[in-house]
A and B are shown apart, each in its own frame.
Chain A
Amino acid sequence: DAKTTQPPSMDCAEGRAANLPCNHSTISGNEYVYWYRQIHSQGPQYIIHGLKNNETNEMASLIITEDRKSSTLILPHATLRDTAVYYCIVLPYNQGGKLIFGQGTELSVKP
């Protein structure tokens, strides 16, 4: 399974964009990039996923580099409720779907 590397922590000012990087240099062609987040005392929450193209939904945007070795999750207007641990996960297409979580990035959104 491809491993991911994320910074352990980041700060962001409320109302500003939060850009969370993830390195997945060993990703292979049939592996998706997934992002989940976990707010304290809750279960992980799905945010977004992509294969090659950039993706956007109501929560966030996902930018995947052309070589697919890294990606960035963008929260366009961070709020205090976005304070959470964000996990970047590489998921093979056909291996059962089990998620391998790393340490993630602890994002603190400050007023």
Chain B
Amino acid sequence: DTGVSQDPRHKITKRGQNVTFRCDPISEHNRLYWYRQTLGQGPEFLTYFQNEAQLEKSRLLSDRFSAERPKGSFSTLEIQRTEQGDSAMYLCASSSGNRANQPQHFGDGTRLSIL
């Protein structure tokens, strides 16, 4: 169990650029979640996958955001045409099993800064 891995840890980009983050869940965890956290606030749910299927998306996930989990293993989160308000920590979590109440294990996030 090597834990949830996120890459990169930090990303600085100019407004209007596209960015992509990667999340590698714990091996054999079939559920994968993305959250966003702004300074001083708790994490907010963005979307989740069960295997390769994206089962729920938050209203926070605008058209500029897209997430994929093509083979049911790692996942990517892409933000197109970044805006100042996208500056945040993007967290990934994974859990096992078929029951939704299994504990989620989080990575240490990707911190995005928009110049």
Which residues from chain A sit less than 8 Å from chain B, CB to CB? Answer: 32, 34, 41-46, 49, 85, 87, 91-104
A-B pairs with beta carbons under 8 Å apart, 26 shown: A32-B101, A43-B93, A43-B108, A43-B109, A44-B43, A44-B93, A44-B106, A45-B106, A46-B104, A46-B105, A49-B103, A92-B100, A96-B55, A97-B31, A97-B33, A97-B48, A97-B101, A97-B102, A97-B104, A98-B48, A98-B56, A99-B43, A99-B93, A101-B42, A101-B44, A103-B41
Residue of A nearest to B91 (CB): A43
- Nearest chain B CB to A77's CB is how many angstroms away? 23
CA distance A96 to B55 in the complex (A): 8
**Residues on B facing A (Cβ under 8 Å):** 4, 31, 33, 35, 41-45, 48, 55-56, 91, 93, 95, 99-109
Other than A43-B109, A49-B103, give 18 A-B pairs with Cβ distance below 8 A. Answer: A43-B4, A43-B91, A46-B103, A46-B104, A49-B101, A91-B100, A93-B99, A96-B100, A97-B31, A97-B33, A97-B95, A97-B100, A98-B33, A98-B48, A98-B56, A99-B104, A102-B42, A103-B42
CB distance from A54 to the nearest CB of B (A): 17
